Amino acid sequence: MDIEVHNPKVEKIINDDDKLIRKIGINLARKVKQRINEMMAFSNFKEYLDYGPGKPHPLSCDLDDLYGIFLNQNIRLIVEPLVKKRDDESLRVCKNVNIKGVVEYHGDKKEWLIP
């Protein structure tokens, strides 16, 4: 699977290890890189949803059509599969994912650590 970052600000942080570490700390930076590498190892997004580490799950409300990937207890890597529909067949042919950022959840509140 190919990983893309359409937001230049997010791309700058994700692709620069020093900036990523300064932004979210070394442990989370390592976990972000690990999750990206794990996603790249799968041939499509449906396969990653079914078998991938990080408990990938669909999000709702204002993050509808996006998926969260576990980094730690409250922090998720947010990704968008680049397909029009979110049905199993569409996700099975999805070979591109856009990284939206990193979010910390606090109950009903969320804070973008990397917007």
Q: Write out pLDDT tens, residues 31-84.
A: 999 999 999 999 999 999 999 899 999 987 777 889 999 999 899 999 999 999
| pLDDT at residue 107 tops 70 | no
**Cα separations (Å) of 70 from 29, 65, 84, 104?**
13, 17, 24, 10
> Within the chain, where are the H helices?
8-14, 17-24, 26-40, 45-51, 88-93
Is the full-model pTM beyond 0.75?
yes
Q: Which residue has the tokens 């969260």?
A: 68
- Calculate helix-pair angle for 26-40, 17-24, nearest 10 degrees: 120
Q: Which residue has the tokens 């499509």?
A: 44
Percent of the chain surpassing pLDDT 90: 79
- 56 near 67, Cβ under 8 Å? yes
Domains along the chain?
A: 2-114 (3.30.2310.20)
